[in-house]
Every structure is written in structure tokens, then in C-alpha cells.
């Protein structure tokens, strides 16, 4: 298991300051969401943690080890599924593992079954629906050897119904695995439903503007979405976000 | 499955087939009606007759050309692939050699051919050099483009996952470029036959090019047409071999995108 700490992260593209001294931490086994409007710099945070871009300043610690400029330390699910079209589903989900070590096909098949993708092992990505592709990408990040998972708006391209199904499915898997997760979204309900803690980003430049602890018990059910506590929390976060936007 | 593909060939093939049939019939009829002399334009029936009766006499020419084409093609595409991989992996090398590669295609083969004979004599070597020169270019360019058009999203994923340069190349860039490589191979396959025939004009003991030169200098126009017929058949055969290989290797493309009409 693992915990992540980001300290004083700043990044600008040209004159455009995107992240300004942003700090955050994810404890072991914790599910933390970053909530922010489109273009606020959420994906950029992941690219920086993953070593794809170099920060102007800031330090990353994974299990107290500094991981600046080190690639392959976190398991990552990009905003688009990014599956390899020439690999069948089974070969796609083991890719993250394959890069680091010999992949475990038995475990992969088992995870695909739990993801409701049994029988699709030999299908190609173009034969799957959008929701199925997202599940494949998620299974791939679960099977990657790194235990810290970064998910970048995995459900943003899905319709409302599929989205809720996928959130329930993700919770059912995560509540068993309990890996540390940093989750990016611009959907308030999704953030509350899934997380232990929500970080609301300010925009231009982005810093953590406010933080909400979510105390709802796990395992969480769909009925939670309509409880007064849920709705009032939603309102509170909405106002925080809106206050920021105005 | 099988029935479907037969049906497809029939549906898609009937138009060109009809056009060719009409042309041949018109050709045959006008040869008969206007009694065009055979040395000027032989009728299709005359060409066919020569193709059948002269078979024993010319078949060794055809075999020799096939040999030359296959050897030249294989060397040519290997050179093309190696050049593409090197230029892709070493950007400095690409900067230096890419313009040179394009310039190499601007030298007319007809001019280059006699030079090659002066340097390398009348053996196999100058002929193979010519085929390699016409073959490597389409493959090299198509492969380079295939590498360069690799999706950035997928490259980013590989980098975030900690993939090495070598892994990115073998697991991502190479399979991604495969359809592009096959486009190059198809062009090279047809060029290679032309290259072989042209190289045989330089001076050779046998080959379709030799047979053609002999035929035209003795006004055996029917034989010239037999030669043309064989060049076309060879092109088609090489082309279909490449397409078959492509279908075997690239099974993952969505319908309509991967299928060539
Ligand atoms: N490589 C880059 N070069 C220049 N500007 C960039 C680059 N990457 C991101 N940006 C800029 O940084 C800002 C934040 O981008 P980012 O993709 O992180 O937003 P986001 O919060 O993930 O948005 P979305 O919710 O739409 O995915 C944008 O204004 C974008 O134009
Ligand atoms: Mg984003």
C-alpha cells in the first residue's frame, strides 16, 4: 500500500500559470477526489506526478521517497481509454504489468470476469462500447504493479445511466482492493459518492481552495444519492465551487 | 463466409471486368474489320496464340525475371525498413538524410542505369541496385510516416507507465506503423516488376525485358504484347501476395477502415 504527498507544486505553460503552489496528500487506502472545472489543470497534476512534464517547482513523495522526474511510479488511467487497437482485451489489460514484469494472465482473466467482460478476452477495442472500454482501461490500471492509482475523469464521456453503473461497479471493486486512489472529476455527485475526501480546486491558477471530508459509511449504495445529508453536502460543495467561479 | 466473399468479388469485380471485356472485343473486331497489320497491332487472338504456342520458348525469360524481382524486392524493402527505423530512432540522422533520400528519387533510372553498368558490369549487381533503388523509397517513407503518426495519447500512456524507449518502439510504434508499412509494400511490389524489366534492358541474357527488346527489334509485336501481359500478371500476383499477408497480419482494424474497398 502507499501514500502520496505533493508539496508546493507550481507549473506554467509559457506565461500561463496553471498550478500555483498546490499541495495535497493521499493517505494509505484513501480515495481522494480532485474537483475542478474544465481547464483548471487537473490532468496537468497527473502528468506532473507521472513524470511526463517537469514542474517549475514542487516535490512528490511516494511512501516518503522522492519521485520527482521518475516515470512508472504510479498506475494511471488517462482521460481517454487509450487502449491499443491491435491488442485484444486480455493483452490490453496486462500492458501496464507487461512493461514492468511478466504479466499474470490468470489474474487478468479473473479481473475481467469481475468487470463483467467475460467472453470479451479475445475481442478488439473497436468491438466494445464506450463504457466497456473504460472498464478495460480501469482493469488495466488495477493490474499494473504500482499500488497507487491515478484516475483522470474515467467516466466523463459516458451518459448518466452508464456513469452511475460504472461508479457503483468501481466502488464494489475498490471496496475490496482498498488501494490508494487519486481521482479527478468535474462532477460533484460522483466525487461525493466515491470519495473519502474531496479537494476543490480554484482556477487560474489552481490551488486547493477547500477540502471536504466525506463520512458516509461504506459500502455505499445508490440510495445514498437521494439522502438529505448527501444533497446538503452537494449544495455546500456547489457553493464553494461557484464562489470560486464568480 | 466463403459464399460472401465470392459474392463480394462478383459485385465489386463486374464493372472492371465488363470494361476489359468490351475493350478486348472492340479490339478484336476492329482488327478483323479494318485488317490492321499484325506487326502494327496484333489482334488479341493472335497474342493469345503466341502466348500458348511460344510458351516453351519464352518461359525461361519469365522465370528469370521473377527471380530478379523477388531478390531485388526483398533486399529493397529490407533496406527501406532499416533506413526508416534508423531515421526514426536517430532524429539527427533523419535531419541529415531525409532530403538526400528524396533527392535519390529525382535521378531518372534511365540515366543511372548505364552508369551502373559502367561501374558494376553486366551481372546481377547493377540490376539489383536498380530494383532496390525503386523499392526502398515507398517503404521507407510510408514506414516513417507510420511511426510519426503514432497517437500521442498512447505514447503518453506508455511514458507514464514507465516504458523504456525500446518498449515504446516495439510495443507501440512498430505495430502502429504496420498498416502504413503495408501501403508502402504494395507500391514497392508493383514498382519492383517495372524495375526488373528496365534493368534487363541494360543488357542481360534472359528476362522479360530481353524478350521484349528482341521482339520489338524484329517487329514481333505479338510477342511484345505477350511480354506486357506477363508484366501485368506478375504485378497482380505480387500485389495479391502482399494483400493476403496484410489480411493475415492486421486483423484488428474496424470494418470499413481496414478493408480496401
Ligand atoms: N502541454 C501543454 N502546453 C500548453 N498548455 C497546456 C499544456 N497542457 C495543458 N495546458 C494548459 O493547461 C490548462 C489546464 O489543462 P488540463 O488539461 O490540465 O485541464 P483539465 O483540468 O484536465 O481540463 P479537463 O477537465 O477539460 O480535462 C489549460 O489551460 C491548457 O490549455
Ligand atoms: Mg483533463
Neighbours of A90 (CB within 10 A): 18
Q: Does the distance separating the beta carbons of B171 and A95 come in below 8 Å? A: yes
Using only the alpha carbons of chain A, give its radius of gyration. Answer: 18
Does residue B202 surpass a pLDDT of 60? yes
Q: How far is A162 from chain B (nearest CA, A)?
A: 24
Residue B124 pLDDT grade (very low, low, confident, very high; cuts 50, 70, 90): confident
Task: Decide: residue B257, CB within 10 A, 0-12 exposed, 13-18 middle, 19+ buried.
Answer: exposed
Q: What percent of chain B has pLDDT over 70?
A: 94
Nearest Cα to A46, choosing from A7, A3, A75, A21? Answer: A75
| Distance from C-alpha of B255 to C-alpha of A236, rounded to nearest angstrom | 49
The CA-to-CA distance between both ends of chain B, in Å, stands at 17
What is the pLDDT, as a whole number, of residue B261?
Answer: 37
Could you tell me if A201 and A42 are in contact, meaning their C-beta atoms sit under 8 angstroms apart?
Answer: yes
Residue B164 has pLDDT above 90, yes or no: yes
**Residue B133 reports pLDDT greater than 50:** yes
Task: Name the band, by pLDDT with cuts 50, 70 and 90, for residue B57.
Answer: confident
Q: What is the mean pLDDT of residues A82-91?
A: 95
Residues 6+ apart with CB under 8 A from A87: A95, A124, A125, B252
User: What's the CATH class of domain B57-249?
Assistant: mainly alpha
A-contacting residues of B 125-164, CB under 8 Å? 151, 153-154, 156-163
Residue B153 and residue A85: Cα distance in Å, rounded? 13
Of the pLDDT bands very low, low, confident and very high (cuts 50, 70, 90), residue B6 is low
CATH architecture of A4-74+146-245: 3-Layer(aba) Sandwich (3.40)
For B216-243, the pLDDT digits (tens) are 999 999 999 999 999 999 999 999 999 9
With b for 16 or more beta-carbon neighbours within 10 A and e for fewer, the A101-118 pattern comes to: eebeeeebbebbebbebe
- C-alpha dihedral over B73, B79, B80, B83, to 10 degrees? 180
Residue B68's region, left for phi above 0, alpha for psi from -120 to 50, else beta, is: alpha
- Partner residue facing B252 (CB), from A76, A99, A124: A124
**Which of A46, A78, A99 lies closest to B162 in CB terms?**
A99
What dihedral do alpha carbons B175, B180, B181, B183 form, nearest 10°? Answer: 150
**C-alpha grid cell, residue A165:** 453503473
Residue A156: which of A112, A192, A186, A126 has the closest Cα? A186
Q: Which of A76, A71, A58 is nearest to A21 (CA)?
A: A58
Phi, psi of A106 (to 5 degrees): -65, -45
C-alpha cell at B32: 478483323
With 60 as the cut, is the pLDDT of residue A242 above it?
Answer: yes
- How confident is the model at residue A116, as a pLDDT? 87
Q: Which H or E run contains B230?
A: helix B221-249
pLDDT band per the 50, 70, 90 thresholds, residue B89: very high
**CA–CA distance, A184 with A168 (Å, rounded to integer):** 17
Contact call for residues A8 and A59 (beta carbons, < 8 A): yes
Alpha helices, DSSP H only, in B149-173? 152-160, 165-167
Ligand in closest contact with the CA of A54: 1
Which one of A4-13, B111-120, B247-256 scores highest in mean pLDDT?
A: A4-13
B 240-259 residues inside an 8 A Cβ radius of A: 250-254
ipTM here: 0.91
Q: CB distance B176–A86 less than 8 Å?
A: yes
Contacts of residue B225, Cβ cutoff 8 Å, sequence gap at least 6: B42, B47, B50
Of B154, B159, B161, the CB nearest to A96: B161
- Angstrom CA distances, A212 to A7, A195, A225, stand at 19, 10, 17
Domain boundaries, given as residue ranges, for chain B: 1-35, 57-249
SS3 of chain A: the string is CCCEEEEEEEEEECCEEEEEEEEEEECCCCEEEEECCCCCCHHHHHHHHCCCCCCCEEEEEECCEECCCCCCCCEEECCCCCCCCCCCHHHHHCHHHHHHCCCCHHHHHHHHHHCCCCCCCCCCHHHCCHHHHHHHHHHHHHHCCCCEEEEECCCCCCCHHHHHHHHHHHHHHHHHHCCEEEEEECCHHHHHHHCCEEEEECCCCECEEEEEECCCCCCCCHHHHHCHHHHHHHHHHHHHHHHHHC
Q: Supply the pLDDT for residue B254.
A: 63
Cα distance between residue B135 and residue B74, in whole Å: 9
Rounded distance between C-alpha atoms, residue B73 and residue B190, angstroms: 10
Entry field: residues in chain B: 261
Instruction: Say what the pLDDT of residue B204 is.
Output: 81
Q: What is the pLDDT of residues A15-52, one digit of tens each?
A: 999 999 999 999 999 999 999 988 889 999 999 999 99
Residue A13 CB–ligand 1 contact under 6 Å: yes
Question: What value does the mean pLDDT take over residues B101-121?
Answer: 84
pLDDT at A153: 92
Q: Mean pLDDT, chain B, as a whole number?
A: 88
Residue A203: the pLDDT is: 83
Integer angstrom CA distances of residue A67 from A5, A48, A62, A184 = 10, 11, 7, 20
The pLDDT tens digits for A60-80 are: 999 999 999 889 999 999 998
Amino acid at each position: 500500500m502507499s501514500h502520496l504527498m505533493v508539496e508546493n507544486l507550481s507549473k506554467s505553460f509559457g506565461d500561463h500559470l496553471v498550478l500555483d503552489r498546490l499541495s495535497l496528500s493521499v493517505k494509505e487506502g484513501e480515495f481522494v477526489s480532485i474537483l475542478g472545472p474544465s481547464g483548471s489543470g487537473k490532468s496537468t497534476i497527473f502528468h506532473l506526478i507521472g513524470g511526463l512534464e517537469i514542474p517549475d517547482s514542487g516535490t512528490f513523495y511516494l511512501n516518503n521517497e522522492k519521485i520527482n522526474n521518475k516515470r512508472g511510479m504510479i498506475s494511471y488511467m488517462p482521460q481517454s481509454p487509450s487502449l491499443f487497437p491491435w491488442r485484444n482485451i486480455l493483452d490490453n489489460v496486462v500492458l501496464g504489468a507487461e512493461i514492468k514484469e511478466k504479466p499474470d494472465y490468470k489474474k487478468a482473466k479473473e479481473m475481467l470476469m469481475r468487470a463483467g467482460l467475460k467472453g470479451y478476452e479475445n475481442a478488439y477495442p473497436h468491438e466494445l462500447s464506450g463504457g466497456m472500454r473504460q472498464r478495460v482501461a480501469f482493469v488495466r490500471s488495477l493490474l499494473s504493479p504500482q499500488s497507487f492509482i491515478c484516475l483522470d475523469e474515467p467516466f466523463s464521456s459516458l451518459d448518466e445511466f452508464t456513469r452511475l453503473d460504472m461508479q457503483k461497479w468501481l466502488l464494489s471493486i475498490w471496496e475490496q482492493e482498498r488501494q490508494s486512489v487519486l481521482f479527478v472529476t468535474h462532477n460533484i455527485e460522483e466525487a461525493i459518492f466515491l470519495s473519502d475526501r474531496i479537494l476543490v480546486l480554484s482556477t487560474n491558477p489552481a490551488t486547493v481552495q477547500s477540502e471536504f471530508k466525506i463520512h458516509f459509511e461504506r459500502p455505499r449504495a445508490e440510495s445514498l444519492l437521494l439522502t438529505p445529508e448527501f444533497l446538503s453536502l452537494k449544495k455546500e460543495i456547489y457553493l464553494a465551487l461557484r464562489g470560486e467561479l464568480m | 463466409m466463403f459464399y460472401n466473399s465470392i459474392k463480394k468479388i462478383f459485385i465489386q469485380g463486374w464493372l472492371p471486368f465488363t470494361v476489359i471485356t468490351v475493350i478486348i472485343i472492340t479490339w478484336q473486331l476492329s482488327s478483323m474489320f479494318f485488317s490492321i497489320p499484325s506487326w502494327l497491332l496484333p489482334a488479341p487472338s493472335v497474342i493469345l496464340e503466341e502466348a500458348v504456342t511460344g510458351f516453351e520458348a519464352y518461359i525461361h525469360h519469365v522465370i528469370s525475371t521473377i527471380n530478379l524481382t523477388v531478390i531485388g524486392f526483398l533486399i529493397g524493402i529490407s533496406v527501406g525498413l532499416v533506413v526508416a527505423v534508423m531515421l526514426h530512432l536517430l532524429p539527427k540522422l533523419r535531419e541529415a538524410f531525409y532530403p538526400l533520400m528524396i533527392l535519390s528519387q529525382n535521378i531518372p533510372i534511365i540515366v543511372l542505369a548505364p552508369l551502373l553498368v559502367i561501374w558494376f558490369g553486366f551481372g546481377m549487381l547493377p540490376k539489383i541496385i536498380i530494383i532496390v533503388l525503386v523499392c526502398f523509397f515507398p517503404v521507407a517513407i510510408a514506414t516513417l510516416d507510420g511511426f510519426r503518426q503514432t497517437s500521442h495519447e498512447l505514447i503518453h500512456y506508455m511514458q507514464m507507465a514507465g516504458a523504456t524507449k525500446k518498449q515504446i518502439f516495439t510495443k507501440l510504434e512498430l505495430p502502429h506503423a504496420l498498416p502504413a508499412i503495408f501501403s508502402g509494400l504494395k507500391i514497392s511490389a508493383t514498382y519492383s516488376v517495372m524495375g526488373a524489366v528496365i534493368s534487363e534492358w541494360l543488357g542481360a541474357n534472359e528476362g522479360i525485358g530481353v524478350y521484349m527488346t528482341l521482339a520489338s527489334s524484329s517487329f514481333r509485336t505479338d510477342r511484345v504484347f505477350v511480354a506486357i501481359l506477363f508484366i501485368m500478371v506478375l504485378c497482380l500476383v505480387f500485389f495479391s501476395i502482399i494483400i493476403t499477408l496484410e489480411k493475415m497480419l492486421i486483423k484488428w482494424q474496424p470494418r470499413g477502415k481496414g478493408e480496401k474497398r
